[in-house]
Amino acid sequence: MFKLINILLSFLLFFAFEANAQDNFRVFIPEHIPSNGSFEVSIITSNKFPEADRLDIYFLPDFSLNINKLELWTPDIRFQIPAKTEFITEYSENYQKFTIDFSDTTLFADEAYFQLVLSLKPISSNSSSLKFYGEFIGEGKIVGHLANSENKISSNITNQFNLSFNYYEKYLTAESAASLSQNSYLNLPLIYNFDEVLAVEFWLKAKNFNSTFLKIINWETNWVEYYLSINENQMLVINSKDNDLFQIKPFFISPNIWYHFNINLDKRNNELTFHCNEEELARIKINNYLDFDNLVLHFQNDMPTGEFSLEQLRLVNLNDSFTSINRNRNYPDYSDDSSNVIFQMNFSETELRALLNQKSISYERIRFVKSDAPLFPRAPEISFKLMNNFYEIEWNGGSYRDVDHYALERAIGNGDFIEAGKVAAENVEEKIYSMLSEKNEQIEIVYFRVKQVNKDGSVVYSDVVKVGQGVVEDLIVGQNYPNPFNPTTLIEFELFQDSDVEIKVYDLAGKEVALLHSGFLSSGVYQFKFDATGLTSGIYLYQITTPLSSQTKKMIFAK
């Protein structure tokens, strides 16, 4: 018999608040919100104060955000709560006030949990914010407040909270998505060899709820080992056939918003972990009979109305930490020194037909729609060298195939960035671009960045490098050679001025494994040998530090 691991509101609040007993509500905010698109925010709470007869919640959206409506959800009913505008003298602002009446004991008996679902609409802005606070009222007096200790929503006003929303513009990087309506499906057998961890990652956007969107099937037994669903409260649900679930976290899904899912199949620990938008939702120990090679991912839509969409479905042979998935989730090209993509679908009709012919997948009734997923062109990586009378700015990488040209931009002090040069893109992966910018000793601080102008007209910017008097980095650290290495490699750097220097090697856990030098060095070029004999294979970090700067690079020890 299946054990239903359903995220009921009562269990959700117990889990959410057990870390801090003073907290009495939890809020769920979408991470990836398209500009000019409506979205929902969920606030889950209960009446913790027996003497309270109502809860008054006050919202203050900024000028770029509209509140469409606020609904009260309980397991039995849903209804819209009317808004009133009220001037709050203490804050000198007009707030929108919503009142939840606790007099109906069938809805609010015994501290019953309920959901407040706020529908919001941004207005032509890159970001917006929403202030709110709540007062539990009994016999006309305040008997308690909404309380939450999360730093990300705290404000400098006691008992008031601030929600921040950032919006993204669609790039042509996201071309098409797969839309699954009633009786459509996609099967992906996990027939690919992987070393220790296979990461299954994909983007999903839902329009209908109370339905299963993914089944993980054992093709040998034809058993459904795991279900991934969205329940009637728009919470993610994981159902398991007979495995123990020892960690659960709640997660609210807003309609028409893209969410990134990652399922890790871990041979080392015999575990399966589920993540959404980087947050771990569940960790499951696998029973001995289950072989990862026998699993099939079955995406489906069994609802008569509504649909959900899929974008960028990838299988990654994950030899690095889980953070490499997060670093790459918004880019069509996966960049990592040790992990590699063994399967990827971005859902074009030609691509699916080719995979169908190769018997890599099977599918029915998939419709292709224009994608608005948060997939972006990758920005170039920028660095600089200090010369006698010039700064040499170098950059490479990024979404090099799609670039039309680059522009080097320079800003002085608090001034605006001004174009300092332009170069056409050669669309070659290994190409390193460089430009010179004259050094002016009278200028205290100079900032540089590279503007990458893509063929579709979109623009992305590199990180900003900050140089100038008093803040110039006094060394350049090169990449170790050879890399990967076994068991020795050379670490080279150039020191621009006499200085004390410390050279250390760390593992990925931050533990120091070697001290190569600590003491004074004159300006010049240096090489230090690192011998990894006795260490395990993997990724290590070497860090070179002076009193003025510190630089860290990654190297791979492969036996």
What mean pLDDT, rounded, does the chain reach?
Answer: 86
Q: Residue 373 has what pLDDT?
A: 94
Q: Residue 161 has what pLDDT?
A: 95
Say whether both 351 and 422 belong to one domain: no
Give the list of residues 6+ apart from residue 9 with CB closer than 8 angstroms, or none.
44, 75, 113, 114, 115, 233
Q: Residue 351 has what pLDDT?
A: 85
Say whether both 96 and 130 belong to one domain: yes
- In tens, the pLDDT along 216-253 reads 998 888 888 898 989 888 999 888 876 555 456 889 99
* 499 found inside a domain: yes
Domain harbouring 247, CATH code:
2.60.120.200
- The amino acid sitting at 284 is I
Beta bridge partners of 144: 136
Q: Residue 154 has what pLDDT?
A: 87
Which of 129, 151, 168 represents a domain boundary (last residue)?
Answer: 168
Name the pLDDT band for 441 (thresholds 50, 70, 90). Answer: low
Contact indicator for 477, 544 with CB cutoff of 8 Å? yes
79 is in which domain, residue-wise? Answer: 9-168
Q: Please check the confidence at residue 469 and state whether its pLDDT lies above 70.
A: no
DSSP code of residue 377? P
Q: What is the pTM of this model?
A: 0.78
Range from 17-26, 41-50, 123-132, 358-367 carrying the lowest mean pLDDT: 17-26
Question: Encoding tokens for residue 43?
Answer: 């606030």
- In tens, the pLDDT along 146-180 reads 999 888 898 888 999 999 999 998 887 778 999 99
- In tens, the pLDDT along 322-341 reads 788 888 999 988 888 788 89
DSSP code of residue 16? H
SS (H, E, C) 396-408: ECCCHHHEEEEEE
Q: Please check the confidence at residue 125 and state whether its pLDDT lies above 80.
A: no
End-to-end Cα, the chain, rounded Å:
47
Name the pLDDT band for 12 (thresholds 50, 70, 90). Answer: very low
Q: Please check the confidence at residue 422 and state whether its pLDDT lies above 50.
A: yes
How far apart CA 353 and CA 362 sit, in angstroms, is 9
**What mean pLDDT comes out for the span 372-376?**
92
CB-CB neighbours of 292 under 10 Å: 15
* 375 found inside a domain: no
Contact indicator for 165, 123 with CB cutoff of 8 Å? no
Say whether both 200 and 74 belong to one domain: no
- In tens, the pLDDT along 295-304 reads 999 999 877 7
Q: Residue 14 has what pLDDT?
A: 46
Which residue has 């500009």 as its token pair?
A: 35
Say whether both 349 and 389 belong to one domain: no
Question: What is each CA distance from 149 to 20, 52, 252, in whole angstroms?
Answer: 8, 22, 19
Q: Which of 138-152, 232-246, 335-349, 389-403 has the highest mean pLDDT?
A: 138-152
Say whether both 154 and 205 belong to one domain: no
> Is the peptide bond between 34 and the residue preceding it cis, with omega within 30 degrees of 0?
no
Q: Please check the confidence at residue 1 and state whether its pLDDT lies above 50.
A: no
Name the pLDDT band for 4 (thresholds 50, 70, 90). Answer: very low
Which of 168, 186, 206 represents a domain boundary (last residue)?
Answer: 168
